[in-house]
Structure 1
Amino acid sequence: MLDDQALFIRTPRGIVVVVGCSHSGLINILRYAQQVTGSPSIYAVVGGTHLVAANDERLHVTIQALKEMQVEKLAVSHCTGFHAQMKLQEAFGDGFVLNNVGNTLTI
């Protein structure tokens, strides 16, 4: 989508993907990051996931895909929505961050 952007950063721990609002689909963006970087695992995802209207089935599929990609850190913001935030927090535990203005993330 023309209004969607993401930044892929190579770090010693793996790829960090910074997304805007994920209009193209979070998993689609992460698969593209894997393709472009040649890295099968994604260390961290930071930004909006556009899951605010996702039902439980879509959330389950999204969480499974994130686990398959070996995502360790997930720092979500604005368009994720409360319900999705809670499901992601349950799935990622200490690897989950409710990311807001003023937060500092050390990668």
Structure 2
Amino acid sequence: MTKCVGYGCGIEASLKAAQAALEEVLPEIKKVDGLGSVQRVVCGGCLDFKVVVKLPADKFGDWEKTKFAPEEAFLGKLKGIEGISIVETQTYTLEEI
């Protein structure tokens, strides 16, 4: 998961720019072997823009070997957006129960 946090005035412009950055890399994300889904989450209260990429556990290692491409390019784009103060990644499991 990629998470970025915006701040202050102009957050709408920052979110639009983050969405545009996601749309630029989305075709590459969709090529990830075993891809299950891609979700974008925006929290208006805490100003988070999150991207969740879900794939089976047995495919994770292969994607990890590619440094989660295109993650590096996407993170670089987010870090260059005025109004985004924190850019971080997180790995976790997500299962329907």
| TM-based fold match above 0.5 | no
- Tell me the TM-score normalised to structure 2 length: 0.31
Q: Higher relative contact order at CA 8 Å, sep ≥6: structure 1 or structure 2?
A: 2
Structure of larger gyration radius: 2
TM-score under structure 1 normalisation?
A: 0.29
